[in-house]
Amino acid sequence: MAKVVINPRIRGFICLTSHPEGCAANVRRQVALAKKAPGSGLGTVLVIGSSAGYGLASLITTVFGFGAKAISVCFERPGAGEKPGSAGWYNLAEVHRLAKAEGCQLETINADAYATATKQQVVAALKARFGKVDLVVYSLASPKRSDPTTGTTYSSTLKPIGRPYTSASVNLDTDQIVQITLPAASDADIASTVKVMGGEDWGYWIQALQDADLLAPGCRTVAYSYIGPQVTHAIYTAGTIGRAKADLERTAAVLTTRLAPLGGHAYVSVNKALVTQASSAIPVVPLYISLLYKVMKERGTHEGTIEQMVRLFTGHLAPGRTPVLDAEGRIRVDDWEMDAGVQAEIAALWPQITSATLDTLGDYAGFKREFRQLFGFEVPGIDYLVPVEVEAPLV
């Protein structure tokens, strides 16, 4: 056990360090918000990808907002000696501490969710201590997946399809707007991205639970997707990641058929663009988010991950609610982002934005602050000069 002063070490869209106290404060803020929309009766929840972003907010909402018992899966690095752990580890350490203090049943398995052994570990834990699952949240965002059936490792890419794509983007190291050209994806890039971020592994999870007779009557499952505006269309919806999301939607239909005898259903929820580790890595998206935040904050419609997940559960997935679906059968909590007025404002600002106007036409400072906050830095109330303990247990 060692106390050290931890500073941010940022390289582009990666931060190599994280601050345990800042991460814990972020979690406490989310828990307080989740508690404002209390409900009950969600039963037992499995959250896959539970330590950051939308998965963390789902875990917090279901446990602290809806009194669920939860089993959570993530892939994080604990702190050791003087080396800080990953932000996700510290997030979950605080979730566990609060859950224990409030007598909530929560267990986390920190292992590769794509692996068969991890599914078996979850099955064993459910059989021993939880029983059947009422809701499965699938919220993985990963650059890689090792396919358990073949041992082949696939990489997810963020590329346009058909032809190269040139766009304005912001360089996160220099804070300058640059023109970037992304090469068109190969067929292998598309197939690999679908392997990593598509629905195959979601299907394996539901299969593993079904084979072990661990799906409760009425069991529902939800995975997260994104659509977004015209300015990110080539790199997102019409790109490699969009193909993976289309596969996720096809999987939802297959899983709904499989869950039908139980009276269950599989959903895809389309969520808002937000600053997370995963979204910061997508070219063009940080610039779009800067404009989106500016416009939505001015209109008073801005939400973070926790507000989005509270709205998803309160409005659609809480016991007794029937999810409202779009024409393609998806839940849409990106509705405020996709509002025609919001998008028209962004489309008008997009051609005008320059490096000099990032903070006047856009909310780039807000983007940068939220990015640092993901790792526990720039969190109000934290004294970063005080040494902190880097080892934190998942109690």
Q: According to CB under 6 A, which one of 105, 121, 142, 210 is a site residue for ligand NAD? A: 142
Q: How far apart, in Å, are the Cα atoms of 136 and each of 160, 216, 261? A: 31, 11, 17
236 is catalytic: yes
147 binds ligand NAD (CB under 6 A): no
CB-wise, 180 or 281, nearer to ligand NAD? 281
- For residue 190, the SS3 value is helix
| Beta strands at 165-171 and 388-389: parallel, antiparallel or unpaired | unpaired
Task: Confirm or reject binding of residue 235 to ligand NAD (CB under 6 A).
Answer: no
* Token pair listed for 159: 């590329």
Decide whether 55 or 78 has the Cβ nearer to ligand NAD: 55
Is position 224 an interface residue for ligand NAD (rule: CB under 6 A)?
yes
The answer to whether 273 contacts ligand NAD (rule: CB under 6 A) is yes
Please tell me whether residue 1 adopts helix, strand or coil conformation. Answer: coil
Among 4, 105, 112, 355, binds ligand NAD (CB under 6 A): 112
| 53-60 vs 20-35: helix crossing angle, rounded to 10 | 50
Amino acid identity for residue 127 in this structure: K
Tell me whether residue 218 or residue 329 sits nearer to ligand NAD (CB atom).
329
Touching ligand NAD, residues 63-102 (CB under 6 A): 73-76, 88
388 binds ligand NAD per the rule CB under 6 A: no
Q: Which stretch binds ligand NAD (CB under 6 A): 163-171, 272-280, 309-317, 356-364?
A: 272-280
Please name every residue paired with 289 in a beta bridge, in sequence order, or none if there are none.
none
Q: Which residue has the tokens 């997370």?
A: 276
55 in contact with ligand NAD (CB under 6 A): yes
Catalytic residue among 114, 165, 236, 267: 236
- Residues from 160 through 219 that contact ligand NAD (CB under 6 A): none
Contact 316, 39 (CB under 8 A): no
For ligand NAD, the closer of residues 213 and 285 by Cβ is 285
- Asked if residue 271 binds ligand NAD (CB under 6 A), the reply is yes
Question: 130, 165, 226, 375: which one contacts ligand NAD (CB under 6 A)?
Answer: 226
DSSP of 120-140: HHHHHHIIIII-SEEEEEE--
Shortest Å distance, C-beta 158 to ligand NAD: 11
Q: In the complex with ligand NAD, which residue's Cβ is closer, 47 or 133?
A: 47
Q: How many residues lie near ligand NAD (CB under 6 A)?
A: 29
Q: How far is the CB of 134 from ligand NAD (least distance, A)?
A: 21
* DSSP state string for 247-309: HHHHHHHHHHHHHGGGT-EEEEEE------HHHHTSTTHHHHHHHHHHHHHHHT----HHHHH
Joined together, the tokens standing for residue 303 give 């939400």
Measured between alpha carbons, how far is residue 53 from residues 106, 154, 292 in Å?
A: 18, 23, 18
One residue of 49, 65, 79, 323 binding ligand NAD per CB under 6 A: 49
Please report how close the Cβ of residue 252 comes to ligand NAD at its closest, in angstroms: 13
β-bridge pairing 44-48 and 144-146:
unpaired
Residue 250 backbone phi and psi in degrees, to 5: -65, -40
Closer residue to ligand NAD, CB minimum distance, 17 or 225? 225
Catalytic (active-site) positions: 236
Residues that bind ligand NAD (CB under 6 A): 49-55, 73-76, 88, 112-114, 139-142, 224-226, 271, 273-274, 276-279
